[in-house]
Every structure is written in C-alpha cells, then in structure tokens.
Structure 1
Amino acid sequence: MPLPTVHDAIIYLMVITSASDRDMTDDELARIGEVVKSWPVFTDFDRDKLVEVAQRCQELLHREGGLKAVLKDATRAIPSRLHDTAYAAAFEVAAVDLEMRMEEVRILQMLRGSLDLDPLTCTAIERAAKARHRMLT
C-alpha cells in the first residue's frame, strides 16, 4: 500500500488522537476541520476530501495491526521538518476539551516517539495549545 500524502498523514494523526478513547466528539471533529481550514500546512489541501481521508484512516485502524501500521506510514510520509507541526496538530485535537484521558496521553506518547521529538519541543507545543484553549470561566 502506498504511503499517505503529507496532508493525509497529518490528518491521520489527528484522527488517531481523537479516536484514541473510542469517542470522537463533535468538538474534536470541529477542531480537525479548523486546523485543516486555517493552518498554512494545509493551504493546498482540498478540504472537500477531509471526510474521505478521515474515513480511510478509520478503515485502516480497523485492520490487523492497524494503529501501528497507520502510525508508521504517517510518520514516514511526514518530512522531519514538519514533525513538530504534525504533533501540534494532533495535540490541538487532544487539548480541545482541556482534559486528557489516559488513552490520549498514551497516543501522544507514541506520537512523540514516532516523530522523534525532544521533550522541550513537546512541552512548548503542549503549553501553547492549552493556553489557546483556556476560557474565562
């Protein structure tokens, strides 16, 4: 099977993060849409294909060894200069409700390892995302 495109791979990481607790919430799905719509890395992505890409990821996840295979292929498809961007996109989805479930924490640990990101970079990405999602009340 061919590697996903870079866009598809980043979307896969967001879907994996959202689906980690087996409950893709409306807020998480909306955040994926917002990231695809507003982040410069997706400038030349056809937004009409977002649902198709997310569904393809879900299908791949349901195969034997699905999570590991999707994670491996996505990591290979994303250039190293975009590894921090990919992690930031995935963390955006996890941070949308400001509550980390154990499944999300585990997926994020796997992503950090697969993307070979240093702890300080991850901490900076995580703090920035949490700050963006805070509310007054």
Structure 2
Amino acid sequence: MTIASGLEVTLSPQEALIYTMVLASAVDTSVKDEELRTMSGIVRGLPAFDGFDPDGVPGAVESCMQLISSGEHGVEEAIAVIRNSLPPKLRETAYALALDVIAADGKAEQEELRLLEMLRHRLDIDRLVAAGIERGARARWTRA
C-alpha cells in the first residue's frame, strides 16, 4: 500500500498485528508499561507469532510510531496498512489483540474506544463477533 508520504508499505501478518497493538497503546498518547509487557507476552506466546523473530518487534514498533506521527491522517493510514497486510482470518485476532493492550492498564480512554470502533469497521468485524471478543477481553482482564 502506498501511504500519503509516497512510501510503499508492505507488512508481514505478524508485523501488522504488532502495528495493531502499537496503535492501541499509542492512541491515547501515552504508552504504558503494562501495555508494553502485554505486547511482549503476546508476541512470545500466541500461535499467530510462530516463526516470527522477536528481535523484529522494536523495528515494527518504531516504523508504526513513525507512520502514526507522520501527519494528521497517520492513524487512518496505519489502519489501512494493517487491513491490507492481514489475511481475513487474522482480522479478528488483530481486534482481540488491540482489546488486550487497551485492557492491560485496567481502563479504556475515549480515544481508545474510538480506535476500537475504527478497527471494527475497517477490518470488517461483525458487531456480534466484536461483542464476543470484547466480552472475552473483559473476562481475561478483570481484577479480583
């Protein structure tokens, strides 16, 4: 995909999932330690990242941060890159990972909720499917 700066951006599915998590973390302008720990655990533990070299995470994080801070449409461009880089079977996974990163600190800010709405629409996640994924995230991240 060509973004506004004229660069062609092609990501592996794993990089697109990392972009999704970075976007979820950075959308409220502060990347929290809990969110970073969550992202690290996800990359090390989920089957979607099998075969992905964890040493590639910092580069993907940096390139995503550059994209989203590149202008007024950075978030929209990042979502478009994510959509174009993910096979349809991983779009629900991307939505679930965004939810996990947002839930990691125990609260969802308005900017984060707006991002989730954008992701749901742009990744073509059915409303009922999204509700189920959201309920699962709430159950996983509820504190005793």
Taking structure 1 as the reference length, what is the TM-score of the superposition? 0.95
Match of 1:88 among 93, 96, 100: 96
Contact 2:32–2:105 (8 Å) recurs in 1: no
Aligned residues, how many? 136
Match of 2:134 among 123, 126, 129: 126
Paired with 2:81 and 2:64, the residues of 1 have a C-alpha distance of 11
Where do 5+ consecutive residues of structure 2 fail to align? Answer: 1-7
Contact 1:98–1:130 (8 Å) recurs in 2: no
CA RMSD of aligned residues (A): 0.9
Contact 2:19–2:64 (8 Å) recurs in 1: yes
Query: What are the within-5 Å matches in structure 2 for residues 95-110 of structure 1?
Result: 95-110=103-118
The reply on whether 1:52 has 2:76 as its aligned counterpart is no
Identity of matched residues, % = 35
Match of 2:40 among 33, 42, 46: 33
Match of 2:3 in 1: none
Query: What are the within-5 Å matches in structure 2 for residues 66-77 of structure 1?
Result: 66-77=74-85
Per-residue CA deviation, residues 69-121 of structure 1 (Å, 9 max, x unaligned), is 11101111101111111111111101112311000000000000111001111
SS of equivalent to 2:15: helix
Q: Offset of 1:4 from its aligned partner?
A: 1.2
The reply on whether 1:63 has 2:70 as its aligned counterpart is yes
Per-residue CA deviation, residues 22-44 of structure 1 (Å, 9 max, x unaligned), is 00000001101111111100011
Match of 1:6 in 2: 13
Q: Offset of 1:2 from its aligned partner?
A: 3.1
* Over 3 Å off, 4+ runs: none
Paired with 2:74 and 2:143, the residues of 1 have a C-alpha distance of 36
